[in-house]
């Protein structure tokens, strides 16, 4: 019985370590978001917003100022960037790809593990866009 308990604890700790330490492979996550319309998804969100010159640069700064967020691939100069934001407690990664083109920003934020993000990506992306509209970063 005691061995089973320790085995269960080891499995849980191993799973949590994998979630926190799993590599972010750019070839998997840094892909064209292909956003044609706003969508609220079970595991993420898609936004397509009008953009002026400099908006991607400002949004990039807003995104990177978000706690536990880092650039995975690309950048403003490439016209497309992918970021990972990790949840505070468990370190669950959410990936956001932003692409600029033809006067719009296409944004696709999605979870990596699980089925539902409970609206976290929608809240984060909409908050970034509000800050962008308010003239942030």
**pLDDT of 137:** 60
Looking up tokens 């296409």, which residue turns up?
A: 106
Q: What's 29's DSSP letter?
A: H
Q: How far apart are CA 130 and CA 75, in angstroms?
A: 21
- Identify the CATH number of the domain in which residue 113 sits: 3.30.310.80
Nearest-CA neighbor of 30 among 64, 68, 75, 93? Answer: 75
Is 51 inside any structural domain? yes
Is 96 inside any structural domain? yes
pTM: 0.88
Max CA separation in the chain (angstroms): 64
**pLDDT of 1:** 81
Is 125 inside any structural domain? yes
Q: pLDDT, tens digit, for every residue of 49-98?
A: 999 999 999 999 999 999 999 999 999 999 999 999 998 888 889 999 99
Q: How far apart are CA 117 and CA 122, in angstroms?
A: 9
Domain span at 48: 24-133
Is 66 inside any structural domain? yes
Q: pLDDT, tens digit, for every residue of 14-53?
A: 877 777 778 888 999 999 999 999 999 999 999 999 999 9
Indicate whether 136 pLDDT > 70: no
Q: For the chain, what is the domain count?
A: 1
Positive or negative, the CA dihedral 19, 30, 64, 42 is negative
Q: pLDDT, tens digit, for every residue of 94-127?
A: 999 999 998 999 999 999 988 889 999 999 999 9
Collapsing DSSP to helix, strand or coil, 79 comes out as: coil
């Amino acid at each position: 019985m005691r061995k089973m308990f320790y085995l269960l604890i080891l499995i849980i700790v191993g799973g949590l370590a994998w979630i926190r330490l799993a590599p972010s492979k750019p070839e998997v996550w840094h892909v064209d978001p292909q956003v044609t319309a706003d969508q609220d998804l079970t595991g993420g969100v898609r936004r397509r917003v009008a953009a002026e010159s400099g908006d991607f640069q400002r949004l990039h700064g807003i995104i990177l100022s978000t706690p536990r967020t880092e650039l995975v691939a690309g950048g403003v100069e490439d016209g497309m960037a992918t970021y990972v934001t990790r949840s505070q407690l468990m370190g669950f990664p959410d990936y956001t790809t932003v692409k600029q083109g033809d006067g719009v920003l296409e944004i696709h934020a999605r979870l990596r593990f699980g089925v539902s993000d409970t609206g976290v990506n929608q809240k984060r992306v909409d908050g970034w866009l509000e800050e962008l509209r308010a003239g942030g970063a």
